[in-house]
Each structure stands twice: as C-alpha cells, then as structure tokens.
Structure 1
Amino acid sequence: MSRKKTNIEKEIRALKKRLAKKQSRKRKVRIVARSVISKSKTVIFDPCAICGVREATTRDHVPPKAIFPQPRPTMITVPACSECNNGASDFDDLFKVYLSMQATGKSEIATRLFKERTVRTLQRNKSLLAKIKAESKSLLVENTEGESEEKLGVLWDSEAHDHVVERTIRGLYYHHSKKVLANDAELKVQWLKSIPEEIESILELLTEQVIGDDQVRYKYYIAPEDPRHSVWLFDFYGAHYTSGYTEPTDS
C-alpha cells in the first residue's frame, strides 16, 4: 500500500472518531440477500439499495424529493423495494417540515420550499403544527454582525431525521459504489451544529457532490481496500448539517 493511501486511511479513521464524539446512534444492519433458493433453483434479483433484503421493484429518491420545491433539480434515484420506498413518505414529510423551518430565509429556494410546501403541510396536519408550537421556544442567537437577536428555536423530530439521513446514506452508498452496504457493517448517524473546525483540514480527502443550486451538498469517502468503511457529511440548504459513517460490526 502506498504511503499516500496509508495517510488517507489514517485521516479517515481519525475523522470517524471525531464525528463519533459529536453524537452517534447505532443502526443494526440489514442482511444482504442477492438470491432466493427455491426448489433447488437459484433466482437472481436486484436487491433493494436501502434494506438489501427484498427485491427492488421501484426507484427511490436520495435525498428524498420532498425536500425540493418545484421545479426539482436532477435527482438521484436507486433501486428500492416498495416497502422501503412507500414506507418512508411520512418521515420524508416530517424531515421537509423541520428542515424548511430551519432553512427559510437562508436562500430564495429554501424560503420557497417553506412557503409552497411546508405551510400547506402544517395547514393540513393540525396535530403536527400543535406539536411544533408546544416544543418551540425563543432563543438568543448571534447574528452575522455579532449582535444578539431573538429567534424561534424548533426541536427536530429525531426519529424522522435519523431515518431519512440513514436511508440517504444507504442510497448514496449504492449510487457511488454500485453495491449494497455489506451485511457485516453498521451505520451511525450524527447531528452537527456546523462542520466541525477540527475536520476541515481533511475535507479535501472527501469527494464533494452538489444537488441543485446548493440545496444539498455532501462529501463522502468509501475506502477502496475495505468498502465497509465510509464517511458522509451533509449540508442541507446551508442551514442544517449532519453526518454519518459506516464500519465493520466487529470494529
């Protein structure tokens, strides 16, 4: 192995450790199934990129199309089973609501997402609106001029957040590697207030992708020697940051 590759692997391992200190949630891996044995005959099928178990019969958007207002940018889709695809819509809707509330005002597109999609969702879903109001509180934050100003703080739905981010990572992993995440790997998701300063020096080691007009930026690295190791950083609308990484279960 070259010295350059060795240094990159060391930096990636250090990056995962730093991200783990921010916050981590274990996600049990799903078994990858690429064939079904029936009556001594092997039937080959394309596995779902998300669960890795069931047959892919449709395509799923990663990140979810719900977080993009019309007209949507060119989207990434991956093969998915109907259960993973259809069962994610409620989480996608919740993620859209909380993301747009956090991002509105950051850009014209983010504000349009909130006005055109989230407002209608909250008008239709009165219980969600009541939940958000009950969990919101005023906070003093420092603006770009260094002055304190009062803003409304909204508590995210953590289950919806982690579910969407995990599904997005699994889908993008498949999109870039053309393989389902191995069954002996686990995926961890972290919340970030911003991109940590301590990892900015190694961001150049990660490949960057942009979806739309800076609506979603993400950086990733999949270790070529052992693809079970990967790192993912996300910037949604320049307002919400999150990350995740994968590693062997016996690490």
Structure 2
Amino acid sequence: MKVNNICIFCKGIADTREHIPAKQFFKGVPDKPLITVPSCKNCNIGFQKDEDFFRQFNAGFLMDRSERAKELMENEITRSIQRKPALGHQMFNQMWLVDAYTKSGLYVGKMTGYKVSDLDRKRIDRIVTKIIQGLFYHEFKQHLPKDWKVRIVWIDPKKSKELSLEELAKTLKWNIIKDDTFAYGVNYVSETYQSMWIIDFFKVPCFYILLMDKEAKHNRVEYNRN
C-alpha cells in the first residue's frame, strides 16, 4: 500500500485528509497554502476536543502579544465557547493578569497568565505530537517511526536562554504557512531524518521539539548546517 493511502497517526487506511495544524487556526484562508496529510476519520474525530482546547489555550495565552490571536479569541473562539461553555469556564478559571517586565526590569503593564494543570499539559503535548507527525510527513514524505523519542520543550524566556534558541533558530530551514498565525523551522540529520524543530504560533516561538531514534538518545547527533 502506498504511504499516502495510510493514516499517518494510526497506520490504518486513510479515507480523508487532516490539516496541520487544525484548519480552525486559519479562518478564511483557502486550502492551497495549508498543510494536509493522509488520515482516517476516526483519528480526525479523536483529535477534535483536544484541538479545540489547544486553539483556545494558544490564542488566550498569546492574545496580549498578537492581534491575530486576539481577533481569534474575540470572534471564533468566543462563539465556540458560547456553544460549549464548559471548556470556556475551565479556561477562564485558570487565567489571571500578571505584572509584566522587560529583561531590564522596566514595567510594561499587565499580561495574561495561565496555570497549566498536568491534564492540560498532556492534552497540549498530544496535539503538539500530532502536529510534529504531520510536519515530519510533509517534510520527508514518510511516517514518523513509532519507536522514536519525541521530546517536547515548552518555550519560555528561561528555556529560550538555556537552550540558546535565538541562535538555534538561525540554523533552521523555516516554512511560514501564514505570517501572523503559524510557522515552523527544522534541521535534520541527512538520511536518518532525526531532527530538531521550533513551532511558532502567532509569531511567538512556543515549542522546541527533538525527534530521535532510541540509539541516538545516547549519542551525539550531527545536524545539517545550511
């Protein structure tokens, strides 16, 4: 069976296509520039609740820094919450305003804070894993091996500094799907496709991901230098 006839998530028969990330991030954008991958209807349906939460989390958390996130929050997400209020109540109960400062200590006003529970983190990591499976297929035209390690790092100022992500980002090949909504960067090992990724939502780096096979976790990995 051809790879494009197999669901990249469950390895069953693909009977539909899945947007990477979910189409709900791209209201009003035609399909042509968006990424789609082979999927099955069961996997498509199985991701929906967590993807709703993932979109609301990202837009709610970043609406202070992105006009697009704010627009999404005030329109499509607000209407979605009105239809399904339980998820909205949960999200807003975990949000609060915090004092924000520049690196030099200058106060710049209030920003939205969000308390992430263990359950929330699992749901978000599940969707990040789904996105990276889709991007892996899109880039390399093959399925992410099931036994590979997927390491997800949530990017915050401390992690960004620890991992020198600003410099790392310069070594990646970037693909901007929609300038104000989603982009990703990737660098990989020739032939094996072990890889490092940075995923941006609303022009903000959100997740750093490493994809490695079991043996590579214990050895130095040399990435391409473009």
| TM-score (structure 2 length as normaliser) | 0.81
Q: Which one-letter code corresponds to 1:155 in the other structure?
A: K
Matches of residues 49-198 of structure 1 in structure 2 within 5 Å?
49-51=8-10, 53-71=11-29, 74-142=33-101, 146-156=106-116, 157-194=120-157, 196-197=160-161, 198=164
User: Aligned pair in 2 of structure 1 residues 223, 240: CA closer, same or farther (>3 Å)?
Assistant: closer
Pair 1:205-2:201 in alignment: no
Q: Which runs of 5+ in 1 are unaligned?
A: 1-33, 36-43
Pair 1:238-2:197 in alignment: no
Q: Distance in 2 between matches of 1:75 and 1:165?
A: 17
8 Å contact kept, 2:64–2:111: no
Q: 1:72 Cα shift?
A: 5.2
Q: Which one-letter code corresponds to 1:66 in the other structure?
A: Q
Superposed structure 1 runs of 4+ greater than 6 Å apart: none
Q: Report which stretch shifted further, 68-77 or 181-190.
A: 68-77
User: Aligned pair in 2 of structure 1 residues 107, 132: CA closer, same or farther (>3 Å)?
Assistant: closer
Cα deviation code 1:1-51 (max 9, x no counterpart): xxxxxxxxxxxxxxxxxxxxxxxxxxxxxxxxx69xxxxxxxx98221223
Q: Which runs of 5+ in 2 are unaligned?
A: 218-226
Cα deviation code 1:94-137 (max 9, x no counterpart): 11111111222434322221122111122222222222233223
SS at match of 2:74: helix
SS at match of 2:198: strand
Q: Name the structure, 1 or 2, with higher relative contact order (CA <8 Å, separation 6+).
A: 1
8 Å contact kept, 1:187–1:247: yes
Q: Which one-letter code corresponds to 1:247 in the other structure?
A: M
8 Å contact kept, 1:219–1:232: yes
| 2:221 corresponds to | none
Q: 1:240 Cα shift?
A: 5.3
| 2:187 corresponds to | 221
Q: Distance in 2 between matches of 1:201 and 1:105?
A: 25
The aligned length equals: 208
| 2:224 corresponds to | none
SS at match of 2:111: strand
Q: 1:246 Cα shift?
A: 1.0
Q: Distance in 2 between matches of 1:181 and 1:175?
A: 11
8 Å contact kept, 1:232–1:243: yes
Q: Distance in 2 between matches of 1:117 and 1:132?
A: 15
Identical-residue share of aligned pairs (%):
25
SS at match of 2:9: coil
SS at match of 1:232: strand
Q: Distance in 2 between matches of 1:136 and 1:214?
A: 23
8 Å contact kept, 1:132–1:155: no
Q: Report which stretch shifted further, 57-66 or 155-164.
A: 155-164
